[in-house]
Amino acid sequence: MMARGWRRGWLFLGLVCSALASVQAADRASLQRGERMFMADCAACHSLKYLRYSRLQQDLDLSPEEVRRDLQRFGAKAEGPVISPMTPRIAGYAFGKLPPDLSLETAVRGPGWVRRYLGGFYLDPSAPQGWNNAVLQNAAMPDPFWRLQGIRANDGHGRPGGLLVPGQVAPRAFAGQLDDLVAFLSYAATPDVIQRRVLGPWVLAFLALFTALAWALKRVVWKDVKGSRGAT
Amino acid sequence: MSGDVDGGRRRFLAVSTVSVGGAGLAAAAVPFAESMQPSARARSLAAPVQVDLAGIAQEQMVTYAWRGQPVFVVHRSARQLALLQKHDDRLLDPDSKVDQQPAWARNPHRSQRPAWLVLVGLCTHLGCVPDYVGSLGREPFDPDWPGGFFCPCHKSRYDLAGRVYSGVPAPRNLLVPPYRFLDDGRLEIGIGPDVPADAQG
Amino acid sequence: MSGPDRQPSWLESRLPSLGQAWRKHVSEYYAPRNFNIWYYFGSLALLALVNQLVTGLFLAMNYQPSAQGAFDSVQYIMRDVPWGWLIRYMHAVGASLLFVVIFLHMFRGLMYGSYQRPRELVWLLGMLLFAALMAEAFMGYVLPWGNMSFWGAKVIISLFGTVPVVGDRLVQWIMGDFLPADATLNRFFALHVIGLPLAILVLVGLHVLALHDVGSNNPDGIEIKDGPRGHSMDPARPADGIPFHPYYTSKDLVGAGVFLWIGAWIVFFAPTMGGWFLEPDNFLPANPMLTPEHIAPVWYFTPFYAILRMIPSLFGSALWGTLVMAASILLLFALPWIDAGTIRSIRYRGRGFRWALALFVLAFLGLGLVGAGLVAKWLAVLAPAVDAGFWELLLGRVLTLMYFGYFLFLGLYTRLGWERPCKPLPERVR
């Protein structure tokens, strides 16, 4: 019975350690790059109305100068939300509808969908904007990355085909940039992820300690129950 | 039944389990208690207010809203400052002994720089907003008025450093809020001067 | 320390009921000594309930129960309120974990015959609790006023519309409007925060009292009161009983630790549980113009939802689906009378019972997969050529028959003498 108890203890501890090891710390550098990309290529049209600049700076450890430049550019306050200067009137003329707020986009569509969408633009003269998207046909959104990624032709099946105009960034590097951007958008949907990843291992370690103590106490208390399976 | 060794071990385990559990419960209570603190939204609405000093002429007062309160910013002229020390005998607390200002405002002009006065514009009697009466000389309520504030509700009077006169209903000098100079042309109400101008609040 | 000469304390002389209750229900409540893993879930359910009450209270401090403000107030809690995200996740994850615990708790009852005489009332009160819990969870899910909140509310409330004659008026009365709107949200908030929690607390109290008055069952299904008297601690108590405190309090503390560890892992590392606890469509604000692609209820309702969907409209009315779904829960209420057997525990019942129970569990899980839309999804992926809808309907109907078949089988099995116990009942608990 003693041996069985100890084996269970090691098994438990092993589970704890493997859980902790499998948890990766949030890649802060990736989020910072994603944030810069969002501010540069997306924030002119898309808001993050549930996210505050001050929170962004705190969570992502951004430099105060960069944040101040963004605040000046968008006429925002540090404690205020990230709101794009795009008005419904201008959006109506340009796109037919207001570019949606992206605070919760990755939570609704899933990061995979968003990633594929961002990589799915191609030139399509028949579309109202001149651009189309493999993932969302007839989207009203033009390709915001054509300078980086290059302009790709329609392959005839509603997917990006050959490269018409090369971009400034190599394809693999650009793919990495999109990954960073999607990571940032995932953070924007659930900013608590930062605190969760930091606090989580400690809470689990504490609870493991508590459970181990409680289990040892239970075994001592149950010793006098004759013939008890004493099993937990 | 159980030997003494077991009894001791049992007690030790019981005490440690309960202690660890109790510590856990106390730690778990912290987030719940903290959730009742002002939220980020409350703090954003109470955020510091920036003042552009270039737009305020001499002897002019402008009112700003900060934390739901009016804050007076007065650009004092040389002649107004000259009269500031001449009437201490008519004031209730001329040396600002009562705690209505930060340590750096416990001086004759009750501010960081003599030219600029920053006060919370609420009468210390019952909270009305006093009028700014910057002109000097004869006033209906005072033949020898050296400039200051006059509260219309119950006729309390304050001088151009916000110090209350004796014999009026108000008991204390006007409150000096925390503020700091970001540079020569800008002031920020809500954050004290000990926080350097380039840091976020 | 204690004894007849000890002076009662200040509290004891003014409120002796407290001490009496502690002794009667905890320190001198003799429970069978052979409780196994299946006996953790009662205390865990209580722990999960306390979690819901405390986290719910603090959520209600910042939540705005209006159609206008609800969705934004949830984001406000998640982002602006200090630790709001933790409280929200604890509440949402806690709800799902409460259902996991309750399903396992109920299954224990099925396995060991805990619903049989003299514990029928314990079972009935438990079933009432289950019904109250489902209502509470349904309303709670509507509160964030996401798109799934709205459409889920619309679909479930419309079930009441299948009632003949008064159906439409009943639906309007429930909603307080012509579609789920502000009025609906406000009353769901009142019921979710005050009405149902009070009912649940009263029912929990009665459930435990009813249990303690007749004594607990155990995995062997024999009464410890029928066994020998003479406990080492108390000569008047059953020899095979042990006082709840300190034995089961210490044991349940370990169970609580494991449960909290699992809960914490989910809250900190996978709070949406891949969309099963917090669904993606609910991150969109409620939109009466935009129906989600797949309206499925939260996972714990899926088996019952599947049964509902499997019954077609007959004679121009969709009432039959509603009735059959209601029957799937009402039959559980009637279990103590359906099962006319004299042996309680699966350990000593015939092989037929074991098979039947296993198939019942499989049916329940399978119906859950159907109700969640997974069967249709998998069929479409694994066998694109076949008509997924047809096969899903076929499978779902077979599983529904299996589900109801359990009750039919049990009724006949215990009345027509088909039951052949595989082992003789033991004299004492093992």
Same-domain pairing of C277 and C425: no
Please give the Cα distance from C400 to A44 (Å, whole number).
54
Same-domain pairing of C365 and C241: no
The reply to whether residue A200 touches residue C268, judged by beta carbons under 8 angstroms, is yes
Please give the Cα distance from A226 to A224 (Å, whole number).
6
The encoded tokens of residue C29 equal: 């409540």
H helix and E strand count, chain C: 17, 2
C173 contact A CB<8A: no
Bridge-based pairing of strands B69-75 and B116-120 is antiparallel
Please give the Cα distance from C303 to C366 (Å, whole number).
8
- Residue C294 among known ligand-binding residues: no
Q: Could you count the other beta carbons within 10 Å of the beta carbon of residue C357?
A: 18
Please give the Cα distance from B72 to B54 (Å, whole number).
15
For residue A13, is pLDDT > 80? no
Same-domain pairing of C288 and C398: no
The average pLDDT across A195-207 equals: 95
The reply to whether residue B198 touches residue A64, judged by beta carbons under 8 angstroms, is yes
The average pLDDT across C53-71 equals: 97
Out of A159-173, B20-34, C122-136, C347-361, pick the least confident.
A159-173
* A chain contacts of residue C256, beta-carbon cutoff 8 Å: 214
DSSP letter for C384, please.
T
C343 within some domain: yes
Coil, strand, or helix at residue B159? strand
Edge-to-edge strand list for the sheet holding B116-120: B61-66, B69-75, B116-120
Domain boundary among C258, C293, C328: C293
The average pLDDT across B146-175 equals: 93
Say which amino acid occupies C267: V
- How distant, in Å, are the alpha carbons of A179, B118, C195, C403 from that of A228? 56, 77, 44, 37
C86 contact A CB<8A: yes
- Residue C212 among known ligand-binding residues: yes
For residue A227, is pLDDT > 60? no
The reply to whether residue C280 touches residue A199, judged by beta carbons under 8 angstroms, is no
pLDDT of residue A21: 46
Please give the Cα distance from C367 to C306 (Å, whole number).
6
The range of the structural domain enclosing residue C155 comes to: 18-293
Please give the Cα distance from C31 to C21 (Å, whole number).
16
- How distant, in Å, are the alpha carbons of A37, A92, C321 from that of A100? 18, 12, 40
Provide DSSP, C48-86: HHHHHHHHHHHHHTT---STTTHHHHHHHHHHTSTTHHH
Non-local (6+) Cβ contacts of A78 within 8 A are: A52, A53, A54, A57, A67, A71, B47, B200, B201
Same-domain pairing of C338 and C287: no
Instruction: Identify the residue with better confidence: C192 or A74.
Output: C192
B14, B200, B201: residue with CB nearest A217: B14
Look up tokens 């939220």; give the residue.
Answer: B39
Please give the Cα distance from C134 to C141 (Å, whole number).
11
What percent of chain A has pLDDT above 70? 86
Please give the Cα distance from C363 to C358 (Å, whole number).
9
Q: Are A232 and C251 in contact (CB under 8 A)?
A: yes
A222 contact B CB<8A: no
pLDDT of residue A212: 96
C9 within some domain: no
3-state secondary structure chain A: CHHHHHHHHHHHHHHHHHHHHHCCCCCHHHHHHHHHHHHHHCCCCCCEEEEEHHHHHHHHCCCHHHHHHHHHHHCCCCCCEECCCCCHHHHHHHHCCCCCCCCCHHHHHCHHHHHHHHCCEEECCCCCCCEEECCCCCCCCCCCCHHHHEEEEECCCCCEEEEEEECCCCHHHHHHHHHHHHHHHHHHHCCHHHHHHHHHHHHHHHHHHHHHHHHHHHHHHHHHCCCCCCCC
Same-domain pairing of C58 and C197: yes
Q: Are C59 and C87 in contact (CB under 8 A)?
A: yes
Kindly indicate the confidence band of residue A23, based on its pLDDT and cuts at 50, 70 and 90. Answer: very low
Please give the Cα distance from A47 to A81 (Å, whole number).
8
In chain C, the number of structural domains is: 2
CA distance C270 to chain B (A): 19
Chain B residue closest in CA terms to A212: B17
C24 within some domain: yes
For residue A82, is pLDDT > 60? yes
Listed residue (B151, B173, B170, B155) closest to B88, CA to CA? B173
Kindly indicate the confidence band of residue C422, based on its pLDDT and cuts at 50, 70 and 90. Answer: confident
* B chain contacts of residue A210, beta-carbon cutoff 8 Å: 17, 20-21, 24
Chains in contact with B via at least 3 Cβ–Cβ pairs below 8 Å = A, C
Same-domain pairing of C184 and C242: yes
Q: Are B65 and B129 in contact (CB under 8 A)?
A: no
What percent of chain B has pLDDT above 90? 62
Of the residues C51, C55, C79, C80, the best mutation for testing chain B's interface (the one with the most B CB atoms within 10 Å of its CB) is C80
Look up tokens 């239970």; give the residue.
Answer: A218
**pLDDT tens-digit readout, C67-89:** 999 999 999 999 999 999 999 99
pTM of the model: 0.87
Q: Are B81 and B114 in contact (CB under 8 A)?
A: yes
- How distant, in Å, are the alpha carbons of B131, C21, C123, C129 from that of C203? 64, 18, 11, 6
Chain B residue closest in CA terms to C51: B28
The encoded tokens of residue C262 equal: 């699992």
Q: Are A206 and B19 in contact (CB under 8 A)?
A: no
Domain boundary among C276, C293, C310: C293
For C23, list phi and psi in degrees, rounded to 5: -70, -45
C418 within some domain: yes
- Domain extent listing, chain B: 7-37, 44-189
The reply to whether residue A216 touches residue B13, judged by beta carbons under 8 angstroms, is yes
Rg (CA), chain C: 24
Paired residues of B117 in beta bridges? B74
CA distance B130 to chain A (A): 30
pLDDT of residue C42: 97
- Residue C192 among known ligand-binding residues: yes
Same-domain pairing of C317 and C336: yes
**pLDDT tens-digit readout, B88-118:** 899 999 999 998 999 999 988 999 999 999 9
pLDDT of residue A162: 86
**pLDDT tens-digit readout, B41-58:** 988 888 889 999 998 999
Please give the Cα distance from C409 to C331 (Å, whole number).
13
C256 contact B CB<8A: no
pLDDT of residue B158: 94
Is B125 a known active-site residue?
Answer: no
Q: Could you count the other beta carbons within 10 Å of the beta carbon of residue C386?
A: 11
* A chain contacts of residue B14, beta-carbon cutoff 8 Å: 217
Kindly tell me the sign of the dihedral angle through the C-alpha atoms of B98, B101, B105, B111. negative
C8 within some domain: no
C60 within some domain: yes
For B142, list phi and psi in degrees, rounded to 5: -160, 120
H-assigned helices in C297-413: 302-310, 319-333, 335-338, 351-371, 374-382, 388-413
**pLDDT tens-digit readout, C405-414:** 999 999 999 9
Give this complex's ipTM: 0.92
Same-domain pairing of C246 and C339: no
What percent of chain C has pLDDT above 90? 81
Q: Are C102 and C110 in contact (CB under 8 A)?
A: no
For C374, list phi and psi in degrees, rounded to 5: -75, -40
pLDDT of residue A159: 86
Listed residue (C256, C135, C156, C153) closest to C198, CA to CA? C135
Listed residue (C39, C96, C36, C88) closest to C61, CA to CA? C88
For C183, list phi and psi in degrees, rounded to 5: -60, -40
A79, A209, A223: residue with CB nearest B44: A79
C180 within some domain: yes
Domain boundary among C293, C317, C348: C293
The encoded tokens of residue B98 equal: 């009562």
C3 within some domain: no
The answer regarding whether domain B44-189 maps to CATH 3.40.50.12780 reads no
* C chain contacts of residue B40, beta-carbon cutoff 8 Å: 79-81
pLDDT of residue A33: 93
Say which amino acid occupies B24: G
Same-domain pairing of C272 and C336: no
- Residue C105 among known ligand-binding residues: yes
- How distant, in Å, are the alpha carbons of B28, C357, C366, C408 from that of C405? 47, 10, 15, 5
Which CATH number characterizes residue C169's domain?
Answer: 1.20.810.10
Please give the Cα distance from A76 to A83 (Å, whole number).
8
pLDDT of residue B124: 94
Same-domain pairing of C273 and C304: no
**pLDDT tens-digit readout, C231-249:** 777 888 898 999 999 999 9
Query: What does the mean pLDDT of chain C come to?
Result: 94
For residue C3, is pLDDT > 90? no
* B chain contacts of residue C79, beta-carbon cutoff 8 Å: 40
